[in-house]
Structure formats: C-alpha cells, structure tokens
C-alpha cells in the first residue's frame, strides 16, 4: 500500500490509536507463501500465533490452510477458536505448565516441541494419566547465531531455549523408554528478523550433521521443524510489501537434506503479518523545544512497544497532509522517556488532528499491547470491515 491508499475518510470515525490491517496484502502474502512452499515436496507451513492473534487475521490465515505454532495454552485456545484443526497445532515453549500440557493432550495436538528432560517427564506422566501417547519433537539448540538484534537471537548456546546438541542422543534414548511418548521430530528456531539467507544455510548444515549422526543410530524422525525467523523490510514497506519467500524456501530446498517421506515444517510469524498492519495515531500537539520539535501523538509504547524495547525502526507517514516536510521527534504520551517512536524524521508538516501511520506494525504490535498508565488497549480493524 502506498501513501494515499489508506481510507482516511473512514478513519475519521474511529477512535485512535488503532491497528489497521490490509486484508488484501495479507491474502497476497499467504498466497505467495503457499505458492513458493508448494513448489517443494513435503513443506508444511505453520503460522506463529504469537506475532498477532487478532481473531480475524487468524481466520484468514487458517483459511489459507496454514497450521498454528503456539507458545502457550491461551494461543492453543485462540487457534482452536479460529478453526485451526488440532492436528495442525504445534506447541513450543520453555515453561509449559500442567494445564497447558493437559489442554494439548485433550485436543490431541500434532506435536509438543519439548525443551528439556524434566518437561518430557511431566508430559509422559500427564499423558499416562489420560491414557494417551504424546507426540513430541525435541527442540535442539543448534548454536547457530543469527545476524539480528541480540535480544531476538534464540539459537545460541547461551540462550535459554532448547536442548544442547551434545545431549541429543541421551534425550532420544530416554524418550524411547517412556511409554506415553512418541518422538516424531526435531525442532529448531534460531531467531527473528533474519534477512541473511546464510543464517538459514548454517542451520541447514547443522541439521544435516545431526541427521547423519541419528542415521548412524538408525533413527529417522518423521519431520524436521526449522522454526521461523524470516525478516521483513521495515525501511521500505511500500516497495517490498511481500518478503522474499522464494529465496527463503529455495534455501531450505537446496541446503537441507531430507530423508524420503520426511516433511519439513516452518513456523513463520513476522514475515506473514508485519507488513499488512499499521498503527494509526492522531497528532495531539506540536511542541517546539529549544533544539527540536516534537510531534506528540496519542499512541504510546503501550500500543506498540518495539521501538522502546528493541530500538526498532518503523517507517512513519503523515497520511492526512501533503504539506512540505519538517523534521520531528515522534513521541507518545506515556510517562517514560523511552516512549519515542522515531527521532529526527521528516514528515509532511504536522498539525493537531493529523493522522500518522506507523507502518509494518502487524507483527508483535497489537498482541504486545499493555494497559500501563491505565490506558485502553488499541482496537484492531481489518480493511474487509471498514
Ligand atoms: C517466535 C517464534 C517463531 C516465529 O518467529 P518469527 O520471527 O516471527 O517468524 C517461530 N517458532 C518459535 C518456536 C518461536 O518462538
């Protein structure tokens, strides 16, 4: 969507700040994923619900045939409610509580991605009480770095996620002795906002080595799950609205050695939903300080925390002004100095009442909203409905 394509007339009736989702772009993105993944035998795509659990988005994603990747019981519930079949739900997380495991067992989800032996023991015990066999994949920590923000790498030995590689064989052997556990896969996830295909290649190489070792022990699992992590272009949401899924899936097709019948699962979050969402906020005041001018808006980090949390960049546009640009710091109303969306950026001259679009906010935006300062949670609207 380019500037000017926002339905600004309709926006005038809505209480700001709010999230606006371009359903057409989401459908196009999903279609591209299905086309590119569909070129490769055995590729299965799940949507990482934690990126955005807006019920309308979930429904569109489910209609496109995706599975769901959940990291909590609440996400399993949201996925089931949106119509995802339990047979396409995977459940990962370092700290699964008993009720969450029971929920997964009761619904016969496709797979638990297990991150430790103590967790495996609890799943075995809870499955035993229900007379069920839990399907599990082991989340291994491949010790592969990713060229992304340090707070969002997950596949290094120092991160809390996954089981160390050297423990792989003993974990698999231990699982084989548990009567209510069936090992069906291996799971990995090295981080987020990854744009260097070399990082995914490094993961493929590591998995190939592991699979060779397993083969020596005559073990071939049903599926490999490589997680998500594909990044988006936050600088150019208009020019590159759909990430390069072709390069992404082709990298795995070329570099990862699958055994006959093995399926390859993906869990994409950000790349699916980031570009279709914008946070729409209204300009409250223009304040001219001694050194700079501030555009004070009614959205804050309670609505979109990424800039405050990771110094993340989001492109911002004034969607109701065509006046010559001026330079602003765009800041929110929250009583914290980190409540800043951008510093020293050019915007078409802003006046009280102007609407700004904070772009590429569909992932890790609405879902991370909080009520700090007793603020209201932002609403989400989808273009189909307004
Ligand atoms: C967060 C997460 C994902 C999705 O990551 P994106 O970078 O949004 O694609 C996938 N799998 C697991 C296990 C995750 O924790």
Chain segment 80-132, per-residue pLDDT in tens:
999 999 999 999 999 999 999 999 999 999 999 999 999 999 999 999 999 99
Query: Where would I find the beta strands (DSSP E) of 176-292?
Result: 181-187, 223-225, 263-268, 277-288
Report how far ligand 1's centroid is from the alpha carbon of 269 (Å). Answer: 6
User: Are 320 and 355 spatial neighbours (Cβ–Cβ below 8 Å)?
Assistant: yes
Evaluate: CB of 229 within 6 angstroms of ligand 1: yes
Nearest atom, ligand 1, residue 231 CA: 7
Q: Which pLDDT band holds residue 1 (cuts at 50, 70, 90)? A: very low
* Residue at token pair 């989800």: 109
CA dist 200 and 293 (Å) reads: 42
Confidence check: pLDDT of 334 > 70: yes
Region 314-328: mean pLDDT is 97
Nearest atom, ligand 1, residue 270 CA: 8
Evaluate: CB of 115 within 6 angstroms of ligand 1: no
Evaluate: CB of 268 within 6 angstroms of ligand 1: yes
Nearest atom, ligand 1, residue 152 CA: 7
Q: Name the pTM for this structure.
A: 0.95
Confidence check: pLDDT of 3 > 80: no
Evaluate: CB of 50 within 6 angstroms of ligand 1: yes
pLDDT of residue 156: 62
CA dist 120 and 127 (Å) reads: 10
> What are 172-184's pLDDT values in tens digits?
999 999 999 999 9
pLDDT of residue 113: 97
Confidence check: pLDDT of 2 > 60: no
Question: Hey, how many other C-beta atoms are within 10 angstroms of the C-beta on 289?
Answer: 8
pLDDT of residue 164: 87
Query: Where would I find the beta strands (DSSP E) of the chain?
Result: 18-21, 43-48, 67-70, 89-91, 111-114, 134-141, 163-164, 181-187, 223-225, 263-268, 277-288, 293-297, 316-318, 325-331, 340-348, 355-358, 379-382
* Spatial CB neighbours of 164, under 8 Å, sequence gap ≥ 6: 140, 141, 157
pLDDT of residue 366: 98
Evaluate: CB of 71 within 6 angstroms of ligand 1: yes
């Amino acid at each position: 969507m380019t500037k000017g394509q926002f339905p600004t007339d309709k926006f005038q009736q809505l209480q700001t700040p709010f999230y606006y989702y371009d359903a057409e772009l989401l459908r196009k993105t999903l279609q591209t994923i299905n086309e590119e993944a569909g070129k490769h035998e055995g590729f299965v795509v799940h949507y990482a619900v934690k990126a955005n659990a807006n019920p309308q988005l979930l429904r569109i994603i489910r209609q496109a045939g995706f599975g769901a990747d959940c990291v909590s019981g609440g996400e399993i519930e949201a996925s089931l409610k949106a119509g995802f079949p339990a047979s396409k739900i995977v459940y990962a997380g370092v700290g699964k509580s008993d009720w969450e495991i029971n929920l997964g067992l009761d619904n016969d989800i496709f797979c638990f991605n297990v991150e430790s032996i103590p967790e495996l023991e609890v799943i075995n015990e809870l499955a035993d009480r229900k007379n069920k066999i839990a399907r599990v994949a082991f989340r291994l920590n491949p010790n592969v770095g990713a060229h992304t923000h340090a707070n969002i790498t997950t596949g290094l030995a120092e991160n809390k996620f996954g089981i160390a590689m050297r423990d792989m064989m003993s974990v698999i052997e231990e699982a084989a002795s548990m009567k209510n556990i069936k090992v069906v896969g291996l799971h990995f996830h090295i981080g987020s906002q990854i744009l260097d295909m070399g990082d995914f290649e490094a993961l493929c190489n590591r998995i190939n080595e592991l699979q060779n070792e397993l083969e020596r022990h005559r073990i071939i699992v049903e599926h490999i799950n490589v997680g998500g992590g594909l990044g988006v272009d936050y600088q150019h949401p208009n020019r590159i609205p759909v990430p390069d899924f072709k390069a992404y899936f082709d990298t795995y097709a070329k570099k990862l050695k699958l055994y006959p019948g093995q399926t390859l699962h993906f869990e994409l979050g950000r790349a699916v939903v980031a570009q279709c969402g914008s946070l729409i906020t209204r300009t409250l005041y223009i304040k001219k300080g001694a050194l700079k001018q501030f555009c004070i808006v009614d959205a804050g980090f309670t609505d979109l925390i990424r800039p405050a949390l990771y110094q993340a960049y989001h492109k911002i546009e004034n969607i109701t002004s065509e006046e010559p640009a001026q330079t602003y710091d765009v800041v929110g109303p929250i009583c914290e100095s980190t409540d800043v969306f951008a510093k020293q950026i050019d915007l078409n001259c802003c006046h009280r009442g102007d609407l700004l679009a904070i772009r590429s906010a569909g992932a890790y935006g609405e879902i991370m909203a909080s009520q700090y300062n007793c603020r209201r949670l932002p609403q989400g609207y989808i273009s189909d409905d307004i």
